[in-house]
Structure 1
Amino acid sequence: MIKTALLGATLALVPLTVAAQQVTLTAETSSVGSSPHYVDTTLAAVLESAGVATVQITEGATLTNSVQAVAEGRLDMAAAPMILPFLLSRGIGPFSGVGPEKGAEMASNIRVIFFHAGSHQIFGHYNSAKVDDIRKLDGLRIWNGPPRGAALTSGRAMIQLLAGLKDGEGYEGVQTAWPDVISSVTSGGVDAWTSPDGLPSGRQIQIAAAGGITLYDVPSDLLASELGQQIVAAPGHAPFSMPVEKYRAAYAGNDITIVTDDDTFDSYATAFAEIVPAGMDEQLAFDIVTAFLAGQERFETSSPMGPNLALTFGDVDGVSQGACGAVKIKMHPGAIRAYEAAGHTIADCLRP
């Protein structure tokens, strides 16, 4: 934590028997309208209300940098796509400059306090755009992510899966920082876009305010293909499927058309974890997670996307959360203790 503040009052939301010392924590999250932003800002409100901590949040962060900052102990909390600790542990991708040995050392300093999978990959375009077939995207300018990181990897995978094209080879990938996504799309600078979004997505609703849009899932045959299954099973991904009528209902009242080839909206989810440094005080981690678990109703009712976040308010098996496979990551002992105190189980593969 960055600095100790005044002694807080006894935790109001949960039955702690001793008063918690309120602290000031730093956190970084993605841009407004995204599911990680909602999770982190709601968590901050829950912790403030519970007297556990005051959280100073930086919005619109590049989460690649945030993950490294947590690993180095320069940041207290961050929303982390699960692929990023995986890449860091190997010193590859956006962490190639770190190297394998240092990357493994840094990744070992990351701990999870809870999981979520609030976003899934979509492909979209304005109804006026020159997109006739999502399998034929040759020559288009497509926004596919921020300049680097997990979202860019997932976005490039989506275009390769849909149209068999690689960024710079068949289409022009456009990347901007998260705070600039909406302006980049609404300005007409791209023909289409792909991004990880919650449901409903504030980002897509803002984009649609400038004109009708169409959003697509992954066609069934492509999702079932060898490449499709590789992408779904890739580190940091998980399957996503929802009845299309429920999906459409989430965007009711907006000029957003949903296109699927069957009765479900199918794609791949981005598995996330809320991470902290391994050295975070165990009692503080316990208090944070205890307040998180007690705040379930607030998380699920404060936004329309709340019920669709796949937040871990119960037993945690690891596999469903995108861990305990290629991604090797551990939970903080204080978080484990909080889950068990609430009557939930934690998979052995998540224990330090």
Structure 2
Amino acid sequence: MIKTVIIGAALAIAPIAATAQATLTAETTTPGSTPHYIDTTLAGILDSAGVATLQITEGATLTNSVQAVAEGQLDMAPAPLILPFLLSRGIGPYSGIGAEDGARLAENLRVIFWNSGSAQIFAYYNNNPVEDIRALDGLRIWNGPPRGAALTSGRAMVQLLSGLKDGEGYEGIQTPWPDAVSTITGGGADAWTSPEGLPSGRQIAIAAAGGITMHDIPSDLLASTLGQQIVAAPGHAPYSLPVEDFRNAYAGNDITVVTDDDTFDTYATAFGQIVNASMDEDLAYRITKAYLDGERRFIEGSPRGPFSRLSFGDIDGVSQGACGAVQVKMHAGAIRAFEEAGHTVADCLRP
């Protein structure tokens, strides 16, 4: 179910201040996900700082959210960076827009900060185990929502593990994000793959119906030509974490984590928090400044905070999944806030 949450006091009752508190619209993913945590935390920080009231719609399809921000119909959204890439070329979910209009719309996008906290995992129920994650023939695998960045990443995971393509050797199951847990717990899939923050509320909810096993990418597959192509693909970034940290994040839940070494290795979904290029520079500056000032609240406000990989330091572009195939720029107001805080911003990110 799509749900709208208004966070912050209404302007009509806000205290009079030298700079009026703005009311902004935003869309995010379902509760329990990293983007949802970031967006709702940001909303609280912006309200406390008197910068803005965010009216957040939960459970959104980010493919649509990115286009809405580019068209000026939405103020803010978390964007998997593959989406600005696809929009700029008018391909994939944006093929109906076309290359020329897609490039024009993509030029309207600006990033105010970054994160890459969602790591791609592969999992199944222990009472219906996958005996060999390299042999997935004939299985029904939930691999994402009906379209968008997560589906592209999910299909890539299955292809890397088994060499199979969706519809050619396995049946890909897709449902909107709000229906993912019920589809899996209801027996609608034999296994699943999705980008997850740590710890993932979605995986914990799935495990509440029965123990699950979660895998990373085996080292030889990750090091293969295809593996490295996927890690470097638009919208992805490398992800590696000590496996004990990964397991400890799920302590108390019936979740088994399997790796072939001492680290959980996969690829992350690189995100940029996007606004339209037309956003007032001072407003973008104040939003970003509040974000940077709120670092402790982001890190300590949830068990997933320390693993969210938020951008509270220098921005080199490459580590954020940009300045390669993805050519999205930062908002000038955001750059000003980062530099004022003593951080450097790569030239390739300047508009």
Alignment-derived partner of residue 4 in structure 2:
none
Q: Distance in 2 between matches of 1:262 and 1:342?
A: 39
Alignment-derived partner of residue 94 in structure 1:
93
Question: Share of identical aligned residues, percent?
Answer: 73
Q: Distance in 1 between matches of 2:87 and 2:14?
A: 36
Distance 1:196 1:257, change over 3 A: same
Aligned residue runs from structure 1 range 241-320, under 5 A? 241-320=240-319
Q: Distance in 2 between matches of 1:27 and 1:265?
A: 32
Alignment-derived partner of residue 207 in structure 1:
206
Q: Is the 8 A contact 1:115 1:274 kept in 2?
A: yes
SS at match of 1:21: coil
Gaps of 5+ in 2: 1-9
Alignment-derived partner of residue 11 in structure 2:
5
Q: Distance in 2 between matches of 1:65 and 1:5?
A: 28
Alignment-derived partner of residue 85 in structure 1:
84
Q: Is the 8 A contact 1:174 1:190 kept in 2?
A: yes
Q: Is the 8 A contact 1:6 1:23 kept in 2?
A: no
Alignment-derived partner of residue 130 in structure 2:
131
Alignment-derived partner of residue 194 in structure 1:
193
Paired residue type of 1:5: L
Matched, 1:339 2:338: yes
Kindly state the Cα deviation for residue 19 of structure 1 after the two structures are TM-superposed.
Answer: 3.3
Aligned residue runs from structure 1 range 35-50, under 5 A? 35-50=34-49
Kindly state the Cα deviation for residue 129 of structure 1 after the two structures are TM-superposed.
Answer: 1.0
SS at match of 2:195: strand
Matched, 1:22 2:21: yes
Matched, 1:183 2:182: yes
Paired residue type of 1:136: A
Q: Distance in 2 between matches of 1:107 and 1:336?
A: 19
Kindly state the Cα deviation for residue 231 of structure 1 after the two structures are TM-superposed.
Answer: 0.2
Kindly state the Cα deviation for residue 254 of structure 1 after the two structures are TM-superposed.
Answer: 0.5
Q: Distance in 1 between matches of 2:18 and 2:251?
A: 45
Alignment-derived partner of residue 6 in structure 2:
none
**In angstroms, what is the RMSD of aligned CA positions?**
1.2
Q: Distance in 2 between matches of 1:319 and 1:260?
A: 27
For structure 1, which segment, 70-79 or 122-131, has the greater mean C-alpha deviation from structure 2 after superposition?
122-131
SS at match of 1:252: coil
TM-score scaled to structure 2, two decimals? 0.96
For structure 1, which segment, 125-134 or 103-112, has the greater mean C-alpha deviation from structure 2 after superposition?
125-134
SS at match of 2:323: coil
Gaps of 5+ in 1: 11-17
TM-score scaled to structure 1, two decimals? 0.95
Kindly state the Cα deviation for residue 7 of structure 1 after the two structures are TM-superposed.
Answer: 8.7
Aligned residue runs from structure 1 range 145-184, under 5 A? 145-184=144-183
Q: Is the 8 A contact 1:6 1:22 kept in 2?
A: no
Kindly state the Cα deviation for residue 21 of structure 1 after the two structures are TM-superposed.
Answer: 1.3
SS at match of 2:313: coil
Q: Is the 8 A contact 1:72 1:106 kept in 2?
A: yes
Moved over 2 A (4+): 4-10
Q: Distance in 1 between matches of 2:87 and 2:245?
A: 37
Q: Is the 8 A contact 1:7 1:21 kept in 2?
A: no
